[in-house]
Amino acid sequence: MTKELRYAVARELRATGTDKAKKISGYACTWGNPTNLGDFDETIGVKPFSSLDTDSVVMNFNHSDSMLLGRSGVNLTLEQDQVGLRFDCTLNDSSVASDVYENIQSGILSECSFAFTVKPDGEVWSTQTNGRMLRTLKNLQLWDASIVTCPAYAGTSAQARNVVAEDIQQRMAGATLAADVAARKARAQMAIDGHAEWQRTHVANEMAELDEQLRARFAVLKAL
């Protein structure tokens, strides 16, 4: 599976702690918030990171390995709660960590991003009431969470298509075709069922009419 990136305005992103123990915290992503990715919508299911306890996850600035802020099991804590993927990162005295801390504290930085891979059978495609396909992410491997200078795309911008790899487009096309075939089959079955019901009703009405005619004739013969 392709490694993917998702960007969003960080929820509850804070620079806390003291000058000697600087800390940043917030949510790298939240559950159940559909995002328009151009050709389809996408949402993250509740607690989709199934191997978070064993994965080696880093926190970077702008997804750059040369701007490392933290590592899970060292100074980075990750937790999946009912809201989303929460992080707490205790920063060291590196220049990049100090700059990120100050920029978050002053409000210059306010966006987060995370890199992930969809595990086998980790996504579900469905058709929404408006006809658009919805991709629900259910089982993911997390690679890194990053503080970023700006989102790579706006929630409803066509620029979002830049984050969608070709294999994802192919899977969406396959899911769309399958949904269309299923819808056609359902409509055909409804037509068959409707015709069968019409036949049953029509035959029942004819039988009732014939029975009434026979009763009437029998009554006439009996009266003679």
Q: Which helix (H) or strand (E) holds 6?
A: strand 3-9
**Number of domains, the chain:** 2
In this structure, the answer to whether residues 43 and 75 fall within a common structural domain is yes
> Of 164, 180, 207, which closes a domain?
164
In this structure, the answer to whether residues 155 and 207 fall within a common structural domain is no
Per-residue HEC secondary structure of 157-223 comes to CHHHHHHCCHHHHHHHHHHHHHHHHHHHHHHHHHHHHHHHHHHHHHHHHHHHHHHHHHHHHHHHHHH
Q: Note every long-range contact of 165-172, with CB atoms under 8 Å and residues 24 or more positions apart, other chains counting.
A: 165/2, 165/4, 167/1, 167/2, 168/2, 168/4, 168/135, 169/39, 171/123, 171/125, 172/39, 172/40, 172/125, 172/133, 172/135
In this structure, the answer to whether residues 172 and 83 fall within a common structural domain is no
Task: Give me the tens of pLDDT residue by residue for the chain, a chain 224 residues long.
Answer: 688 888 877 678 899 877 778 999 999 999 998 888 888 899 999 999 999 988 899 999 999 999 999 999 999 999 999 999 999 999 999 999 999 999 999 999 988 889 999 999 999 999 999 999 999 999 999 999 999 987 654 443 444 445 667 777 777 777 776 666 666 777 777 777 776 777 787 777 777 787 787 787 777 777 76
pTM of full prediction above 0.75: no
| 17 in Cβ contact with 81 (< 8 Å) | no
Range of the domain at 53: 3-164
In this structure, the answer to whether residues 193 and 104 fall within a common structural domain is no
Distance from C-alpha of 60 to C-alpha of 84, rounded to nearest angstrom: 19
In this structure, the answer to whether residues 10 and 112 fall within a common structural domain is yes
> Of 116, 140, 164, which closes a domain?
164
